[in-house]
Structure 1
Amino acid sequence: MYRKIWAGIVSGIALFSIATFAQDRPTVTAVQNSIYVGADGRYEANPDTALVQFNIGAQGDQIKPAYDRATRAAEQVRQILKTNGIDVKDAEIGFFSVAPMYDWKNPKQKVVGYKVSSSIKVKLRDFSKVGAMAEAFGDMDVTENQSISYILQDTEAAKTKAAEDAFRRAKNEAAAVAETAGRQLGELSYASIDTTDIMPIRMMQASPMMAQARMGAPMAAPTADFTPQTIQVTAHVNAMFALR
């Protein structure tokens, strides 16, 4: 974490100035008997949502059989959600795309079938259901590229905490500079806050072993007994204080 301080202390004797930030920050003109500081803060929040993602990949020798198979798979997903007490609205399904499949060994690249694909995203707020849902989806014979990750959807509280940490650091640094100069820190006269987006989703677990699921072997929850990684939110505060 980097911190840089602009200080403008004008008492008829000294004026302190430090180089500007590498990133764009508000331009504030030095004010007599004031100090301008910038500091970064952060807050690590626990994820509040598990995101299960996978693709449907249904194949057939003709488009209609492949499309019908993909449609049945979508209905199967709907039933899995209902069985586990999950609102169907918590799931997102992408559009169905159709692609031909070729016999690459044939010099003429003959079309031998078609594949209908779609993406599924399911948001789970009850982490105890992650294992059962992953197993149920993995047991579908058209499931591809399943993954489980944890995200933070309610970001406002985390952003507030990060901003509080940044302001505390800025005030402490301003107070240290003021004390060094033989002055006292006065009231806040200006402040700006810039909070960053949440860090990218942390991938927690690759797809379950579908072959093992089909053989009837029990599958433990992929994150059982583990604590999901925290998600870091950062903020930058620029503040100007009066000097006494």
Structure 2
Amino acid sequence: MGLIAGPTLAGALAPAPTYPATAGAAGDETPEHTIAVVGSGKVTVVPDQATIRLGVVLERPTAKAARQAGAAAMTKVVAAIRKLGIEERDIATSSVSLGPIYDWRNNTQRIRAYQLTNIVTVTVRDLEKLGDVLDDGVTAGATSVEGITFDVADRNAAEAQAREAAVKDAKAKAETLATGVGVRITGVASMSESVSTPIWYDRQFAGAAVAEDAATPILAGSTDVTISVSVTFLIG
């Protein structure tokens, strides 16, 4: 028992370990003092292009029949869009799904039909054609329009202006805070930015209703290019 008590007592009398203070780690004797702010800049632009998502949704008794009917319908839709001068590179399949639809009969689940959904994304670089793309696509067999995105083809100039405004906004906020507490800005510790996404207009249409009505008017209006910057300023 003496052999057990000896080490236990020695451990109890051993001095507690010491750890260096965080501020002294890696040679930093004093912590840096900072002010963190978020600045934002916005530039309003007139969109010059749009992205529209057209879909074919149909049901057939068998999976093969649904696939074949969907392929035939979408082929007609794409052909109608191409006739408007939309280039092949601006038409892309975004999703295709095929699955069973069930019914309950006599407490038994049975397959009633198979549903196929085929969605294509169309980039329209001439906004005057946007209404025609919608109308002709629906007339050719599209049964849904999932949404329209308006944007500018070249965002670089607008983003540069918005970025400059965001940085100025962040600096002005930091200087106001620094002056208020009697310090001055000495540098920048870190900076990051985020760019807003284009405005998405969700629209759902019934194919027959759109096809039978007059030409669908779609107005782009204007959209905002917004940039936010998060800046941590050094103060002293």
* Same fold by TM-score greater than 0.5: yes
User: What is the one-letter code of the residue matched to 1:101?
Assistant: I
User: What is the one-letter code of the residue matched to 1:236?
Assistant: S
Give the aligned partner of residue 98 of structure 1: 98
In 2 relative to 1, CA 111–179 (structure 1 residues): closer, same or farther, beyond 3 Å? closer
Check whether the contact 1:49–1:151 (CA below 8 A) recurs between aligned residues.
yes
Give the aligned partner of residue 207 of structure 1: 204
Q: Take 2:64 and 2:176, find their aligned partners in 1: how far apart are those partners? A: 73
User: What is the one-letter code of the residue matched to 1:219?
Assistant: A
1:41 paired to 2:48: no
Give the aligned partner of residue 59 of structure 1: 59
Q: Take 1:64 and 1:178, find their aligned partners in 2: how far apart are those partners? A: 70
Deviation string 1:42-95 (CA, Å, 9 cap, x unpaired) is 223434531211332132222222111111122123212321111121122145
Check whether the contact 1:44–1:158 (CA below 8 A) recurs between aligned residues.
yes
1:234 paired to 2:228: yes
SS across alignment from 1:194: strand
Give the aligned partner of residue 195 of structure 2: 197
Deviation at 1:145, TM superposition (A): 4.6
Pick one of 216, 219, 224 that aligns with 2:215: 219
Identity rate, percent: 20
Considering fraction of residues, name the structure with more helix: 2
Structure whose alpha-carbon radius of gyration is higher: 2
Give the aligned partner of residue 29 of structure 1: 32
User: What is the one-letter code of the residue matched to 1:44?
Assistant: V
SS across alignment from 1:114: strand
Deviation string 1:182-235 (CA, Å, 9 cap, x unpaired) is 99x89x744643111324x433351344223443x3123232xx5144343322
User: What is the one-letter code of the residue matched to 1:58?
Assistant: L
Larger mean CA deviation between 150-159 and 120-129 belongs to: 150-159
Give the aligned partner of residue 25 of structure 1: none
SS across alignment from 2:192: strand
State TM-score, norm by structure 1: 0.66
User: What is the one-letter code of the residue matched to 1:195?
Assistant: E
Deviation at 1:146, TM superposition (A): 3.0
Give the aligned partner of residue 24 of structure 2: none
SS across alignment from 2:195: coil
Check whether the contact 1:41–1:164 (CA below 8 A) recurs between aligned residues.
no
Check whether the contact 2:190–2:231 (CA below 8 A) recurs between aligned residues.
yes
Check whether the contact 2:50–2:123 (CA below 8 A) recurs between aligned residues.
yes
Alpha-carbon RMSD across the aligned residues, in angstroms, is 3.4
Which ranges of structure 1 fall in alignment gaps of 5 or more residues? 1-27
